[in-house]
Copies of this chain bind each other. A is one copy, B any other.
Amino acid sequence: MTNPSIERVRSRFLLPTDKVYLDGNSLGPLTSEASEHLIEAISQQWGQDLVAAWNKHGWIDLPQTVGNQIAPIIGAHRGNVICCDSLSVNLFKALSAALEINNTRTRITVEAHQFPTDNYIASGLARLMGADRCQVKATDISKLTADDLSDTAVLALSHVDYKTGTLRDMPGITALAQEAGALVVWDLAHSAGVVELSLESAKVDFAVGCTYKFLNGGPGAPGFLFARAEHQLAQNPIPGWMGHARIFDFEPQYEPAKGIQRFLTGTQSVIALSAVAGALKLFEEVSVRDLRDVSLSLTRAFIARWKRSPLSAVSALLTPENDSQRGSHVSLALDDAFPISQALIDDGIIIDYREPNIVRFGFAPLYNTNADTERAMSALEAIVASRRYEAPKYQVKSTVT
Protein backbone atom coordinates (compact mmCIF):
# COMPACT_ATOMS: atom_id res chain seq x y z
CA MET A 1 0.00 0.00 0.00
CA THR A 2 1.35 3.39 -0.96
CA ASN A 3 0.26 6.84 -0.01
CA PRO A 4 1.68 9.87 -1.85
CA SER A 5 1.96 12.16 1.18
CA ILE A 6 3.75 9.47 3.18
CA GLU A 7 6.01 8.62 0.22
CA ARG A 8 7.13 12.25 0.12
CA VAL A 9 8.00 12.27 3.80
CA ARG A 10 9.93 8.98 3.78
CA SER A 11 13.08 10.57 2.34
CA ARG A 12 13.46 12.80 5.42
CA PHE A 13 14.43 9.80 7.54
CA LEU A 14 18.20 9.55 7.83
CA LEU A 15 18.21 5.78 8.22
CA PRO A 16 21.30 3.62 7.75
CA THR A 17 21.00 1.98 4.32
CA ASP A 18 22.23 -1.44 5.41
CA LYS A 19 19.50 -2.11 7.96
CA VAL A 20 15.80 -2.86 8.13
CA TYR A 21 14.66 -0.79 11.06
CA LEU A 22 11.70 -2.34 12.84
CA ASP A 23 12.25 -0.81 16.24
CA GLY A 24 10.59 2.57 15.86
CA ASN A 25 8.31 1.49 18.71
CA SER A 26 11.39 1.75 20.94
CA LEU A 27 13.39 4.60 19.34
CA GLY A 28 12.27 6.55 16.29
CA PRO A 29 15.02 7.49 13.78
CA LEU A 30 16.64 10.84 13.14
CA THR A 31 14.95 13.00 10.52
CA SER A 32 16.40 15.86 8.55
CA GLU A 33 13.91 18.19 10.29
CA ALA A 34 15.00 17.13 13.78
CA SER A 35 18.63 17.47 12.75
CA GLU A 36 18.10 20.97 11.32
CA HIS A 37 16.19 22.14 14.40
CA LEU A 38 18.94 20.79 16.64
CA ILE A 39 21.75 22.47 14.72
CA GLU A 40 19.87 25.77 14.76
CA ALA A 41 19.10 25.51 18.49
CA ILE A 42 22.68 24.63 19.35
CA SER A 43 24.77 26.83 17.07
CA GLN A 44 22.64 29.91 16.58
CA GLN A 45 20.20 30.09 19.48
CA TRP A 46 22.39 28.84 22.32
CA GLY A 47 25.75 29.62 20.74
CA GLN A 48 25.09 33.16 19.51
CA ASP A 49 21.95 34.47 21.15
CA LEU A 50 22.59 32.92 24.55
CA VAL A 51 20.27 33.98 27.35
CA ALA A 52 18.35 36.35 25.06
CA ALA A 53 17.07 33.28 23.22
CA TRP A 54 14.60 32.58 26.01
CA ASN A 55 12.54 35.42 24.55
CA LYS A 56 13.89 35.79 21.03
CA HIS A 57 13.37 32.15 20.06
CA GLY A 58 10.39 31.40 22.30
CA TRP A 59 12.28 28.93 24.50
CA ILE A 60 10.12 29.88 27.46
CA ASP A 61 6.99 28.67 25.66
CA LEU A 62 8.50 25.55 24.03
CA PRO A 63 6.70 23.04 26.28
CA GLN A 64 3.37 24.58 25.23
CA THR A 65 4.43 25.09 21.59
CA VAL A 66 5.49 21.47 21.22
CA GLY A 67 2.38 20.41 23.14
CA ASN A 68 0.33 22.22 20.50
CA GLN A 69 2.19 20.29 17.80
CA ILE A 70 1.31 17.01 19.53
CA ALA A 71 -2.35 17.98 20.06
CA PRO A 72 -3.68 17.28 16.54
CA ILE A 73 -1.79 13.96 16.39
CA ILE A 74 -3.70 12.68 19.43
CA GLY A 75 -7.01 14.37 18.78
CA ALA A 76 -6.63 16.99 21.48
CA HIS A 77 -7.53 20.66 21.44
CA ARG A 78 -4.81 23.27 21.31
CA GLY A 79 -3.83 24.25 24.86
CA ASN A 80 -4.58 20.86 26.40
CA VAL A 81 -1.15 19.23 25.91
CA ILE A 82 2.24 20.09 27.36
CA CYS A 83 5.59 18.51 26.47
CA CYS A 84 7.91 18.16 29.47
CA ASP A 85 9.63 15.82 31.91
CA SER A 86 9.38 12.07 31.37
CA LEU A 87 6.25 9.98 30.83
CA SER A 88 6.73 8.56 34.34
CA VAL A 89 6.85 11.98 36.02
CA ASN A 90 3.84 13.12 34.00
CA LEU A 91 1.90 10.04 35.05
CA PHE A 92 2.63 10.88 38.68
CA LYS A 93 1.18 14.35 38.09
CA ALA A 94 -1.88 13.07 36.23
CA LEU A 95 -2.72 10.44 38.85
CA SER A 96 -2.39 12.94 41.67
CA ALA A 97 -4.56 15.47 39.84
CA ALA A 98 -7.19 12.81 39.12
CA LEU A 99 -7.31 11.79 42.80
CA GLU A 100 -7.78 15.44 43.74
CA ILE A 101 -10.67 15.84 41.28
CA ASN A 102 -12.39 12.58 42.20
CA ASN A 103 -11.84 13.15 45.89
CA THR A 104 -14.58 11.02 47.36
CA ARG A 105 -12.65 7.95 46.25
CA THR A 106 -9.10 6.85 47.03
CA ARG A 107 -8.33 3.93 44.75
CA ILE A 108 -6.06 3.84 41.68
CA THR A 109 -6.77 0.84 39.46
CA VAL A 110 -3.98 -0.22 37.13
CA GLU A 111 -3.67 -2.87 34.48
CA ALA A 112 -1.81 -5.83 35.96
CA HIS A 113 0.52 -6.63 33.07
CA GLN A 114 1.09 -3.27 31.46
CA PHE A 115 4.46 -1.58 31.16
CA PRO A 116 5.50 -1.71 34.79
CA THR A 117 6.56 1.91 35.32
CA ASP A 118 2.87 2.85 35.34
CA ASN A 119 2.23 0.56 38.30
CA TYR A 120 5.42 1.57 40.10
CA ILE A 121 4.45 5.22 39.84
CA ALA A 122 0.92 4.58 41.12
CA SER A 123 2.34 2.64 44.06
CA GLY A 124 4.89 5.38 44.77
CA LEU A 125 2.13 7.98 44.88
CA ALA A 126 0.06 5.78 47.21
CA ARG A 127 3.06 5.28 49.50
CA LEU A 128 3.62 9.02 49.69
CA MET A 129 -0.04 9.86 50.31
CA GLY A 130 -0.56 7.13 52.89
CA ALA A 131 -2.82 4.08 52.78
CA ASP A 132 -5.83 5.99 54.09
CA ARG A 133 -5.72 8.41 51.17
CA CYS A 134 -4.64 6.21 48.27
CA GLN A 135 -4.48 2.51 47.46
CA VAL A 136 -3.55 0.69 44.26
CA LYS A 137 -5.32 -2.33 42.81
CA ALA A 138 -4.10 -4.29 39.77
CA THR A 139 -6.74 -5.69 37.45
CA ASP A 140 -7.02 -7.81 34.32
CA ILE A 141 -8.15 -5.22 31.82
CA SER A 142 -9.53 -7.78 29.37
CA LYS A 143 -12.17 -8.73 31.95
CA LEU A 144 -12.90 -5.24 33.23
CA THR A 145 -16.48 -4.54 34.33
CA ALA A 146 -18.17 -1.49 35.80
CA ASP A 147 -18.39 -3.36 39.12
CA ASP A 148 -14.59 -3.55 39.27
CA LEU A 149 -14.48 0.23 39.18
CA SER A 150 -17.22 1.00 41.70
CA ASP A 151 -14.72 2.40 44.21
CA THR A 152 -12.01 3.50 41.77
CA ALA A 153 -11.01 7.16 41.63
CA VAL A 154 -8.79 6.72 38.61
CA LEU A 155 -8.02 3.94 36.15
CA ALA A 156 -4.55 4.00 34.53
CA LEU A 157 -3.86 1.87 31.52
CA SER A 158 -1.89 1.53 28.32
CA HIS A 159 -3.57 2.17 25.01
CA VAL A 160 -1.33 -0.38 23.25
CA ASP A 161 0.22 -3.19 25.28
CA TYR A 162 4.02 -3.01 25.05
CA LYS A 163 4.43 -6.78 24.85
CA THR A 164 1.56 -8.04 22.72
CA GLY A 165 0.71 -4.97 20.67
CA THR A 166 -2.94 -5.27 21.72
CA LEU A 167 -4.87 -2.03 21.16
CA ARG A 168 -7.48 -1.21 23.78
CA ASP A 169 -10.88 0.27 23.02
CA MET A 170 -10.29 3.80 24.28
CA PRO A 171 -13.80 5.23 23.82
CA GLY A 172 -15.44 2.09 25.23
CA ILE A 173 -13.24 1.71 28.30
CA THR A 174 -13.30 5.45 29.00
CA ALA A 175 -17.11 5.47 28.91
CA LEU A 176 -17.31 2.34 31.08
CA ALA A 177 -15.00 3.86 33.67
CA GLN A 178 -16.71 7.22 33.72
CA GLU A 179 -20.13 5.60 34.07
CA ALA A 180 -18.74 3.78 37.10
CA GLY A 181 -17.58 7.12 38.52
CA ALA A 182 -13.86 6.78 37.74
CA LEU A 183 -11.54 9.04 35.78
CA VAL A 184 -9.13 7.56 33.23
CA VAL A 185 -5.46 8.21 32.50
CA TRP A 186 -4.30 6.65 29.23
CA ASP A 187 -0.64 5.88 28.49
CA LEU A 188 -0.13 6.56 24.78
CA ALA A 189 3.53 5.50 24.57
CA HIS A 190 2.89 2.90 21.85
CA SER A 191 0.00 4.56 20.05
CA ALA A 192 0.77 8.27 19.57
CA GLY A 193 1.65 8.83 15.92
CA VAL A 194 0.42 5.49 14.57
CA VAL A 195 -3.13 5.04 15.85
CA GLU A 196 -5.94 7.49 15.20
CA LEU A 197 -6.76 9.06 18.52
CA SER A 198 -9.50 11.39 19.53
CA LEU A 199 -8.95 12.19 23.18
CA GLU A 200 -11.49 14.98 23.16
CA SER A 201 -14.36 13.12 21.56
CA ALA A 202 -13.67 10.07 23.75
CA LYS A 203 -13.83 12.49 26.71
CA VAL A 204 -10.53 11.19 28.04
CA ASP A 205 -9.61 12.80 31.36
CA PHE A 206 -5.82 12.65 31.26
CA ALA A 207 -3.24 11.05 29.01
CA VAL A 208 0.54 10.78 29.06
CA GLY A 209 2.98 9.69 26.40
CA CYS A 210 6.52 9.84 25.18
CA THR A 211 7.93 11.43 22.05
CA TYR A 212 10.87 9.09 21.44
CA LYS A 213 8.99 6.22 19.81
CA PHE A 214 6.72 6.77 16.81
CA LEU A 215 7.00 10.57 17.14
CA ASN A 216 10.78 10.36 16.43
CA GLY A 217 11.77 13.03 18.97
CA GLY A 218 15.13 11.50 19.87
CA PRO A 219 16.52 9.14 22.51
CA GLY A 220 14.88 9.80 25.87
CA ALA A 221 13.02 12.81 24.43
CA PRO A 222 10.54 14.50 26.80
CA GLY A 223 7.15 13.10 27.65
CA PHE A 224 3.82 14.83 27.29
CA LEU A 225 0.71 15.29 29.38
CA PHE A 226 -2.84 15.87 28.18
CA ALA A 227 -5.47 17.22 30.55
CA ARG A 228 -9.03 17.86 29.47
CA ALA A 229 -9.79 21.56 29.83
CA GLU A 230 -12.06 21.16 32.86
CA HIS A 231 -9.29 19.26 34.70
CA GLN A 232 -6.80 22.08 34.33
CA LEU A 233 -7.94 23.49 37.65
CA ALA A 234 -6.37 20.56 39.50
CA GLN A 235 -3.02 21.02 41.24
CA ASN A 236 0.35 19.82 40.02
CA PRO A 237 1.76 17.72 42.90
CA ILE A 238 5.32 18.82 41.97
CA PRO A 239 4.68 22.56 41.69
CA GLY A 240 7.88 24.14 40.38
CA TRP A 241 8.52 27.70 39.32
CA MET A 242 7.82 27.06 35.61
CA GLY A 243 4.17 26.32 36.44
CA HIS A 244 3.66 29.57 38.34
CA ALA A 245 1.19 32.18 37.14
CA ARG A 246 3.98 34.80 37.05
CA ILE A 247 7.24 32.91 36.59
CA PHE A 248 9.61 35.84 36.76
CA ASP A 249 8.05 37.66 39.66
CA PHE A 250 9.60 35.07 42.00
CA GLU A 251 6.76 35.33 44.47
CA PRO A 252 7.08 33.48 47.77
CA GLN A 253 3.59 31.94 47.39
CA TYR A 254 2.86 29.47 44.63
CA GLU A 255 -0.04 30.43 42.42
CA PRO A 256 -0.57 27.98 39.57
CA ALA A 257 -0.70 29.32 36.03
CA LYS A 258 -4.00 29.10 34.24
CA GLY A 259 -4.33 26.17 31.88
CA ILE A 260 -1.95 23.39 30.98
CA GLN A 261 1.17 25.38 31.97
CA ARG A 262 0.49 24.57 35.62
CA PHE A 263 1.66 21.03 34.94
CA LEU A 264 5.19 22.29 34.36
CA THR A 265 7.68 21.88 37.18
CA GLY A 266 11.32 22.85 36.46
CA THR A 267 13.19 24.17 33.45
CA GLN A 268 13.05 21.87 30.41
CA SER A 269 15.89 21.01 28.05
CA VAL A 270 15.55 23.37 25.10
CA ILE A 271 17.78 21.15 22.99
CA ALA A 272 15.71 18.05 23.66
CA LEU A 273 12.50 19.97 22.93
CA SER A 274 13.96 21.41 19.71
CA ALA A 275 14.51 17.89 18.36
CA VAL A 276 10.89 17.03 19.11
CA ALA A 277 9.68 20.27 17.50
CA GLY A 278 11.64 19.38 14.35
CA ALA A 279 10.53 15.76 14.23
CA LEU A 280 6.87 16.71 14.58
CA LYS A 281 7.02 18.93 11.49
CA LEU A 282 6.60 15.77 9.41
CA PHE A 283 3.21 15.16 10.96
CA GLU A 284 1.99 18.39 9.41
CA GLU A 285 2.33 16.80 5.98
CA VAL A 286 0.50 13.53 6.63
CA SER A 287 -2.74 12.55 8.32
CA VAL A 288 -2.83 10.11 11.21
CA ARG A 289 -5.66 8.34 9.38
CA ASP A 290 -3.32 7.66 6.44
CA LEU A 291 -0.58 6.55 8.83
CA ARG A 292 -2.99 4.16 10.52
CA ASP A 293 -4.00 2.70 7.15
CA VAL A 294 -0.38 2.09 6.18
CA SER A 295 0.44 0.74 9.65
CA LEU A 296 -2.42 -1.76 9.45
CA SER A 297 -1.44 -2.84 5.96
CA LEU A 298 2.14 -3.48 7.15
CA THR A 299 1.18 -5.49 10.23
CA ARG A 300 -1.53 -7.32 8.25
CA ALA A 301 1.01 -8.29 5.58
CA PHE A 302 3.49 -9.42 8.21
CA ILE A 303 0.93 -11.60 9.96
CA ALA A 304 -0.28 -13.09 6.66
CA ARG A 305 3.30 -13.88 5.66
CA TRP A 306 3.90 -15.51 9.06
CA LYS A 307 0.82 -17.70 8.62
CA ARG A 308 2.16 -18.99 5.29
CA SER A 309 5.59 -19.62 6.80
CA PRO A 310 6.90 -22.79 8.46
CA LEU A 311 7.56 -20.45 11.39
CA SER A 312 3.87 -20.50 12.27
CA ALA A 313 4.35 -24.08 13.45
CA VAL A 314 7.12 -23.15 15.91
CA SER A 315 6.03 -19.72 17.13
CA ALA A 316 2.88 -18.13 18.50
CA LEU A 317 1.34 -14.86 17.39
CA LEU A 318 0.69 -12.74 20.51
CA THR A 319 -0.80 -9.84 18.58
CA PRO A 320 -4.51 -9.73 17.70
CA GLU A 321 -5.37 -10.41 14.06
CA ASN A 322 -8.41 -8.18 14.28
CA ASP A 323 -7.34 -4.77 12.92
CA SER A 324 -9.33 -2.89 15.55
CA GLN A 325 -7.38 -4.57 18.34
CA ARG A 326 -3.89 -4.15 16.95
CA GLY A 327 -1.40 -1.32 17.47
CA SER A 328 1.66 -0.95 15.26
CA HIS A 329 3.90 -3.78 16.40
CA VAL A 330 3.61 -7.53 16.05
CA SER A 331 4.98 -9.90 18.67
CA LEU A 332 5.94 -13.51 18.16
CA ALA A 333 6.61 -15.89 21.05
CA LEU A 334 9.08 -18.66 20.33
CA ASP A 335 11.74 -20.82 21.92
CA ASP A 336 15.22 -19.33 21.90
CA ALA A 337 13.75 -15.92 21.24
CA PHE A 338 16.73 -14.15 22.76
CA PRO A 339 19.52 -15.66 20.60
CA ILE A 340 17.22 -15.50 17.58
CA SER A 341 16.68 -11.77 18.18
CA GLN A 342 20.45 -11.27 18.38
CA ALA A 343 21.00 -13.14 15.11
CA LEU A 344 18.32 -11.00 13.43
CA ILE A 345 20.06 -7.83 14.61
CA ASP A 346 23.35 -9.22 13.37
CA ASP A 347 21.69 -9.66 9.97
CA GLY A 348 20.63 -6.01 9.98
CA ILE A 349 17.00 -6.64 10.95
CA ILE A 350 16.64 -4.32 13.94
CA ILE A 351 13.90 -5.59 16.24
CA ASP A 352 13.77 -6.08 19.97
CA TYR A 353 13.46 -8.85 22.48
CA ARG A 354 11.17 -8.86 25.48
CA GLU A 355 11.19 -11.30 28.37
CA PRO A 356 10.57 -14.16 28.49
CA ASN A 357 10.34 -15.34 24.86
CA ILE A 358 9.12 -12.48 22.69
CA VAL A 359 10.47 -10.89 19.51
CA ARG A 360 8.78 -7.58 18.72
CA PHE A 361 8.56 -6.23 15.17
CA GLY A 362 7.64 -2.55 15.18
CA PHE A 363 6.19 -1.07 11.99
CA ALA A 364 6.45 2.67 11.53
CA PRO A 365 4.23 3.78 8.66
CA LEU A 366 6.31 6.89 8.03
CA TYR A 367 9.30 4.91 6.80
CA ASN A 368 8.70 1.13 6.79
CA THR A 369 7.47 -0.57 3.61
CA ASN A 370 6.15 -3.98 2.60
CA ALA A 371 9.65 -4.89 1.48
CA ASP A 372 10.71 -4.58 5.14
CA THR A 373 8.08 -7.08 6.27
CA GLU A 374 9.32 -9.55 3.66
CA ARG A 375 13.01 -9.06 4.49
CA ALA A 376 12.34 -9.51 8.19
CA MET A 377 10.32 -12.68 7.79
CA SER A 378 12.79 -14.18 5.30
CA ALA A 379 15.68 -13.48 7.65
CA LEU A 380 13.81 -15.03 10.56
CA GLU A 381 13.00 -18.14 8.50
CA ALA A 382 16.63 -18.54 7.48
CA ILE A 383 17.95 -18.08 11.02
CA VAL A 384 15.52 -20.60 12.51
CA ALA A 385 16.00 -23.15 9.70
CA SER A 386 19.80 -22.98 9.87
CA ARG A 387 19.89 -22.96 13.68
CA ARG A 388 22.53 -20.28 13.27
CA TYR A 389 21.20 -18.59 16.42
CA GLU A 390 22.86 -21.36 18.44
CA ALA A 391 26.25 -19.70 17.95
CA PRO A 392 27.69 -18.72 21.36
CA LYS A 393 27.94 -15.04 20.41
CA TYR A 394 24.15 -14.75 20.33
CA GLN A 395 23.61 -16.13 23.83
CA VAL A 396 25.02 -13.31 25.94
CA LYS A 397 22.39 -11.02 27.40
CA SER A 398 23.22 -7.41 28.05
CA THR A 399 20.87 -4.49 28.49
CA VAL A 400 18.30 -4.37 25.73
CA THR A 401 15.78 -1.59 25.43
Which residues of A pack against B, CB within 8 Å?
A: 14, 16, 19, 21, 23, 26-27, 29-30, 35, 38, 42-43, 45-48, 50-55, 59-60, 85-89, 92, 96, 112-113, 115-117, 119-121, 123-124, 127-130, 133, 138, 210, 212, 218-223, 235-242, 244, 247-252, 254, 265-273, 275, 345, 350, 352, 354-355, 398-401
Known pairs A30-B47, A51-B350; A127 contacts B235 (CB<8 A): yes
Taking a contact as CB atoms under 8 Å apart, the answer to whether A222 and B117 are in contact is no
A42 proximity list for chain B (CB < 8 A):
30, 35, 38, 218, 275
Taking a contact as CB atoms under 8 Å apart, the answer to whether B238 and A89 are in contact is yes
Distance (whole angstroms) from the CB of A238 to the closest CB of chain B:
5
The interface centre, meaning the residue of A121, A128, A350 with most chain B CB atoms within 10 A of its CB, is A128
Contact of A266 among B89, B130, B270 (CB under 8 A): B89
A50 proximity list for chain B (CB < 8 A):
16, 19, 21, 23, 27, 29, 350
> Closest 9 interchain pairs by CB?
A86-B266, A88-B266, A88-B240, A117-B241, A219-B270, A269-B272, A120-B254, A30-B47, A124-B239
A244 proximity list for chain B (CB < 8 A):
116, 120
Taking a contact as CB atoms under 8 Å apart, the answer to whether B240 and A86 are in contact is yes
Closest B residue to A163 by beta carbon equals B250
A53 proximity list for chain B (CB < 8 A):
219
Query: In the complex, A299 Cα to B240 Cα: how many Å?
Result: 31
Known contacts A19-B50, A55-B399, then 6 further A-B pairs from the complex at CB < 8 Å, ordered by chain A residue: A38-B42, A88-B241, A89-B240, A92-B238, A96-B128, A127-B235
